[in-house]
Amino acid sequence: MPWSEQDYPSSMANMDPDLRREAISIANRLVEEEDCDEARAISIARTQAKRAHWGTRVPERPVHHGQPRAEGWALREGDAEQARQLFRTREQAQRRALELAEADRGEVVLHDRDGNVRQRRRA
């Protein structure tokens, strides 16, 4: 499903409109032309749009965050607000985060209930 300026991922809601427009364009291209998974396309698009728009230095390594929630452990990518996956235990979330980090040479960050970093590991 292609995204538009009226219908876009929630992780793009607080972006500058010009930056969001660029990220939407990049994400649509990645999904349609390169057959990229939507969640991954969104993450890549946000990073590339920030580089192109502001010329800011953005971390090269994807970061996979694990944090406890009432229903278990949430795993999210980068600064996405919405969880990518939910798990019943910390061990399950950590195992999956490490698999993802190894696949994309990323990093795993585990948080406590207050959002404080409790463990950080690079793949």
Residue range 90-117, pLDDT digits in tens: 999 999 999 888 887 888 999 998 889 8
Residue range 35-66, pLDDT digits in tens: 888 888 898 888 888 877 666 555 567 889 99
Residue 98 CA to residue 105 CA, distance in Å, equals 10
Query: Phi/psi at 46 (nearest 5 deg)?
Result: -60, -45
Sign of the C-alpha dihedral computed for residues 43, 46, 89 and 112 taken in this order:
positive
Residue 103 CA to residue 62 CA, distance in Å, equals 10
Enter the pTM of the model: 0.52
